[in-house]
Amino acid sequence: MSDWPTSAKVIVVLLVLLIVVPAIFKLLWLAITAAVVLGIGYVAMQAINRKR
């Protein structure tokens, strides 16, 4: 890759970023969604247990 022109390196970097960044955001979104769902589920379980 050392003999590649600068423009080719820039294009490769941009392509990698376009692929990697959305993947990271998807993982973060999944983690946040899972945390929220677990939090709501935990609170609901506590409420159900208190009603008994």
Q: Does residue 7 lie within any of the structural domains?
A: no
Please check whether residue 2 lies inside any domain of the structure: no
pLDDT of residue 44: 95
CA dist., res. 43 & res. 49, Å (int): 10
Q: How many domains does the chain fold into?
A: 1
Q: 38 and 46 in contact (C-beta within 8 Å)?
A: no
User: Which of 22, 3, 1 shows the shortest CA–CA distance to 12?
Assistant: 1
4 is a domain residue: no
Asked if the structure places residue 27 within a domain, the reply is yes
Is residue 10 situated within a structural domain?
Answer: no
Domain contains 41 = yes
Query: How do residues 4-46 score in pLDDT, each as one tens digit?
Result: 789 999 999 999 999 999 999 999 999 999 999 999 999 999 9
